[in-house]
Amino acid sequence: MMKHLLGLLFVSVFIITSALVSSPAMAAIEVHNFKSPENEARYQHLIDELRCLVCQNQNIADSNAGLAYDLRQKVYEMIQAGKSDTEILNYMVERYGDFVLYRPPVKGYTLLLWFGPFILLFGAVVLLIRFARQRKDLEVFDEAELQDIRTLLKQTSGDPK
């Protein structure tokens, strides 16, 4: 019995650690030679930030789709050509819209997206406070009511104390 338990423990520890250690799966193995480690970090950051439009809930770093491959290639080429991050993101937005960014910019029609949750939270807090106050009101009895309660309790259980 003890042996079994130990075995089980060992297996679960093994599974958990291997899950923690393994790096996030890259969709495809692509070899890119960057001019500097900074450029490589920028590349990694940009492909994490860009959405794959075919498989909409993945970024282009994680996607196997042909379009994601093309976009990664384009990001690589633009970095090699010395373009800045802003220039690369602008290039993508000009063609695919804000939707291509996982973090859309704060502007007119994205205001609700950015601040809607906070408005809802505020509303919920206001409602909560209101309900809490009403509850308290219910618990307050005046002297006459308390007298009634005492009489009733005396009648049912004999001794109120």
Q: Residues in the site for other proteins, rule: CB under 8 A?
A: 53-54, 56, 66-67, 70-71, 74, 93-99, 127, 134
C-beta of 75: minimal distance to other proteins in Å?
11
Contact 99, 51 (CB under 8 A): yes
Q: How far is CA 129 from CA 120, 125, 137, 138, 140, in A?
A: 14, 6, 13, 15, 17
Sign of the dihedral defined by the CA atoms of residues 64, 67, 73, 76, in that order: negative
Sign of the dihedral defined by the CA atoms of residues 95, 73, 30, 50, in that order: negative
Of 43 and 72, the one with the shorter C-beta distance to other proteins is 72
Of 1 and 138, the one with the shorter C-beta distance to other proteins is 138
C-beta of 92: minimal distance to other proteins in Å?
9
Of 134 and 155, the one with the shorter C-beta distance to other proteins is 134
C-beta of 129: minimal distance to other proteins in Å?
14
